[in-house]
Structure 1
Amino acid sequence: MTGAISPDRIEQLAKAFDADPHARVMQNAVTKTAVDAVALDHRAAVAAERSMSHQLDDWSATNQKMSGRCWMFAGLNLLRVGAAEKLGVKEFEFSQSYLQFWDKLEKANFWLESILQTADRDVDDRTVAHLLGSPTEDGGQWTMFVALVQKHGLVPKSVMPETQSSSETRQLNRNLGDVLRQSARDLRAAAASGESADALRERKDGVLETVHRILAIHLGTPPTSFDWQWRDKDKGFHRDGTLTPQEFAQRYATLPLDDYVCLVHDPRPTSPVGRTFTVEHLGNVVGGPPVVYLNVDVATMKRIAADSIVGGEPVWFGCDAGKMHDRDGGVWDANLFDYDAVYGTTSDMTKVDRLLHGATAMNHAMLFSGVDVVDGVPRRWRVENSWGTDKADKGFWTMTDGWFDEHVFETACRVDALPAELRDAIATPPIVLPAWDPMGALAQ
């Protein structure tokens, strides 16, 4: 058959491999050792100096464990800096499982609304298929984090601590996904039979009752109020009485989240710099702030991030964390591994190429907590990860500036940090991208 691999060709391939001494050496190495250990460029790993000219972190790294809550951890890690200062404590964490509960309930509602909006399309329509493929992801975006805090507030970790399912979400997501897909089947069938919009939303409300019950079983019931008292780092005792989560957020989340905008670096030719974008069916809170990005060049993104750190404020960011990273050493460098030397290949895909051909997308969010600036130019970045304290520098990673160029996609910054022309661009109507566009990827 035309296009099939013939027996003769298979024989030729085997002979060519056997005749290549480099390939045989690599086979000996990689069959006994992980390929990343073989391909690691020792000089690049050693060159990633951990010290920074500007370093903010004086706290411990957090641990999202076996969950996709990095975006939530990064957002709460940004807010906890001011909270710890206001409380007079060295270490403080907001409850990640509290926001996780509300995120999953809100996401279920948002997803069910999308199912209703697309109920007149075939089940194999590309948008419908995209929705059915991911009804209950852990991941999120900066704007989705802001929406949760604005609507549901915050509580200390001691008030709603981690559970087995908050730290390891696979079984919760599996079972919740089954419930939601079944509900999608039933809602689509009811819509096809001519049920009214009110009747369909009544059905949806019944699904949400089930989702709430499942979440409460797995994560616990979120508090509506709680007594708050604590001791500061000098052992002084404080009591703030009974607070709702919204009141707690207003008092101890000191950053003005309304004043932030999400920047992206999308270098594709179809994505002009200085324009805003949104993605269909992307979000978590119905009626919350829409997910809108402002596309900027990477130099602008880096300058704003560095200025924020130098000014004393960490920076939330999203990236493709799986590229060129040494998990044990805690290093991201664009040239950290020489896979071409191992495989005898030539890798020349650009950031644009990778986006267009499905080779990259944002998949992880963290916090910049330091930057090394030389003659006004950043050359390295310090990163607070949420993978625990047993890797890297007790959970803090080092990123080279070249890696930032290639693999960072998003940052959150204050609007007043933007140049005037970009501030004006925020108010322009966003270009709408399809639901499956890589700019709609969730950090998880």
Structure 2
Amino acid sequence: MGYKLTLQELENFSADFNKSSQNQVVARAAQKSGVLAAAYNDRVQNELTRVFSTELATDNVTNQRQSGRCWEFATLNILRHNFGQKYHCKNFTFSQSYNFFWDKIERANNFYNYIIATASEPLDSRIVRTHLNNAGKDGGHFQMATALIEKYGVVPSYAMPESFNANNTAGFGKALGDKLKKDALVLRKLKQAGEDEKIKLVREQFLSEVYRMTAIAVGEPPKKFDLEYRDDDKNYHLDKELTPLEFLHKYMGDVDFNDYVLLANAPDHEYNKLYSLPDANNIDGTCHIQWLNVPIEYLERASVNQLKDGEAVWFGNDVGEQSDRQKGYLDSNLYQLSDLFGVDLKMSKADRLRTGAGYFSHAMALVGVDEDQGHIRQWKVENSWGEKNGDKGFFVMNNEWFKEYVYEVAVHKKYLTSEQITLAEGPAIELPAWDSLA
């Protein structure tokens, strides 16, 4: 039997609210300007200085616009910083559309794999619904981006420029998602009937149609291109007729993505364990999404050490929490909503993950850190939201925000302890597709 509110209780609530004149003052401010503006902590701007003791050479930023490609942008930003340092060309950029194209093809193929593998499950089962809900979506993980790079290489941004549908993915994503869901019903029926030979022919037709749709929406990727650029010293460079993989291996052959480990801080999971998410891979057989879950101080120290060695750090976070997009602030005390409402709204990081109040929603790159005798004060963050957000596209993040809202960083194995290196080599505990780390 449920609990029913009585009219007397509602009268009591109203009386309790109105007995304090301060509630009326706060209510007027919140109703006029919105709860976030009313709870905004102006002192933050005095504490986030944008001066960093360690800072990489950066200039322009990229812009993912109205798309969920942050994981691809952040990974390519790490790669372009590597290229920029090596070839003295800090504003060189890679084509995000190129990798976006191949992700759609590969992800459709793996979607069909998952649908066929779960054909014996009810259509409304949790695993089948999860795959159907993800059909046509943009979001992804670090290893998904590196798997695409390793298989298909990279091209300069001018070799496959951004298109409307790459910048604004909702329309194409809806059409592609609808097609994949329709295909799923056909493949499930064939699998349930035991028609495995027919499945091969049908899925090949389906994949050809996905290719057609993606080529129409985004454009076909180039098979060869000429590498042409001027470095920071205005020297001209030309290398003709490169394939995307030749470009990757010739100019960035020293980048070994197998040397990276994703350190996670998910306190709703047991620490010092390697976890994997097999139901979210985009490339069959080669992409393995894995995290080594450790206390937050290991993410901090590994990130600092990698920055001091001159390399940016890919990190996954919950950018919608305690952030000012326009000013580029990430501060755990930015909006004091508990004070505004007079209600304790604070939750632990573990509880936010357990309840879905917190989740990995965005990926960016750390390009600087400010330390005072080993104490981390703040971080410089390269975002992919264009120059009109933050300080010409760069955000500043205090370390408390890092502790509360950063969930993973991609760092080299050499920054791990020997025990962590052993753990990172497996075996991994498989997580379901709906896990909080997903």
Q: TM-score, normalised by structure 2?
A: 0.96
Separation in structure 1 between the aligned mates of residue 238 and residue 61 of structure 2, nearest angstrom: 27
1:224 match: secondary structure: coil
State the AA in 1 paired with 2:401. Answer: W
Separation in structure 1 between the aligned mates of residue 354 and residue 280 of structure 2, nearest angstrom: 20
CA contact (8 A) 2:80 2:90 kept: no
Matches within 5 A, 1:156-305: 156-196=156-196, 198-253=197-252, 254-268=254-268, 271-305=269-303
Q: CA deviation at 1:2?
A: 4.2
Separation in structure 1 between the aligned mates of residue 4 and residue 283 of structure 2, nearest angstrom: 50
1:380 match: secondary structure: strand
CA contact (8 A) 2:278 2:289 kept: no
Farther off after superposition, 131-140 or 152-161: 131-140
Separation in structure 1 between the aligned mates of residue 382 and residue 132 of structure 2, nearest angstrom: 33
| 1:409-441 residue CA offsets vs partner (Å, 9 max, x unmatched) | 00001112211111111222101111100111x
Separation in structure 2 between the aligned mates of residue 56 and residue 303 of structure 1, nearest angstrom: 17
CA contact (8 A) 1:228 1:240 kept: yes
| 1:375-419 residue CA offsets vs partner (Å, 9 max, x unmatched) | 122221110011111121111111111111111000001112211
Separation in structure 2 between the aligned mates of residue 4 and residue 118 of structure 1, nearest angstrom: 43
Farther off after superposition, 32-41 or 174-183: 32-41
CA contact (8 A) 1:373 1:380 kept: yes
Q: CA deviation at 1:333?
A: 1.2
CA contact (8 A) 2:259 2:413 kept: yes
1:42 match: secondary structure: coil
| 1:208-245 residue CA offsets vs partner (Å, 9 max, x unmatched) | 11111111111100011112223333333322110111
CA contact (8 A) 2:57 2:90 kept: no
Q: CA deviation at 1:32?
A: 1.3
Farther off after superposition, 152-161 or 126-135: 126-135
Q: CA deviation at 1:194?
A: 2.6
Q: CA deviation at 1:274?
A: 2.0
CA contact (8 A) 1:275 1:428 kept: no
Matched residue, 1:356: 354
Separation in structure 1 between the aligned mates of residue 2 and residue 319 of structure 2, nearest angstrom: 40
2:194 match: secondary structure: coil
Farther off after superposition, 233-242 or 283-292: 233-242
Separation in structure 1 between the aligned mates of residue 20 and residue 185 of structure 2, nearest angstrom: 55
CA contact (8 A) 2:307 2:313 kept: yes
Cα RMSD of the aligned pairs, angstroms, is: 1.5
Separation in structure 2 between the aligned mates of residue 312 and residue 57 of structure 1, nearest angstrom: 9
Residue among 362, 369, 372 paired with 1:374: 372
Separation in structure 1 between the aligned mates of residue 152 and residue 278 of structure 2, nearest angstrom: 24
Separation in structure 1 between the aligned mates of residue 33 and residue 271 of structure 2, nearest angstrom: 44
State the AA in 2 paired with 1:195. Answer: E
Separation in structure 2 between the aligned mates of residue 289 and residue 54 of structure 1, nearest angstrom: 33
State the AA in 1 paired with 2:165. Answer: S
State the AA in 1 paired with 2:418. Answer: A
| 1:285-312 residue CA offsets vs partner (Å, 9 max, x unmatched) | 1121311111111111110100111111
Matches within 5 A, 1:92-111: 92-111=92-111
CA contact (8 A) 2:319 2:361 kept: yes
Q: How many residues align?
A: 437
| 1:12-62 residue CA offsets vs partner (Å, 9 max, x unmatched) | 333433333222222211221022111011112321111011111322111
Farther off after superposition, 226-235 or 418-427: 226-235
2:157 match: secondary structure: coil
Separation in structure 1 between the aligned mates of residue 86 and residue 207 of structure 2, nearest angstrom: 37
Farther off after superposition, 64-73 or 326-335: 326-335
Separation in structure 2 between the aligned mates of residue 200 and residue 11 of structure 1, nearest angstrom: 65
State the AA in 2 paired with 1:70. Answer: C
Matches within 5 A, 1:403-422: 403-422=401-420
Residue among 311, 314, 338 paired with 2:312: 314
CA contact (8 A) 2:44 2:331 kept: yes
Separation in structure 2 between the aligned mates of residue 234 and residue 50 of structure 1, nearest angstrom: 27
1:328 is the counterpart of 2:326 = yes
Q: CA deviation at 1:326?
A: 1.4
Q: TM-score, normalised by structure 1?
A: 0.95
Separation in structure 1 between the aligned mates of residue 126 and residue 351 of structure 2, nearest angstrom: 23
CA contact (8 A) 2:338 2:345 kept: yes
Matched residue, 1:387: 385
**Runs of at least 5 residues in structure 1 that lack an aligned partner in the other structure:** none
Matched residue, 2:81: 81
State the AA in 2 paired with 1:83. Answer: F
**Runs of at least 5 residues in structure 2 that lack an aligned partner in the other structure:** none
1:23 match: secondary structure: helix
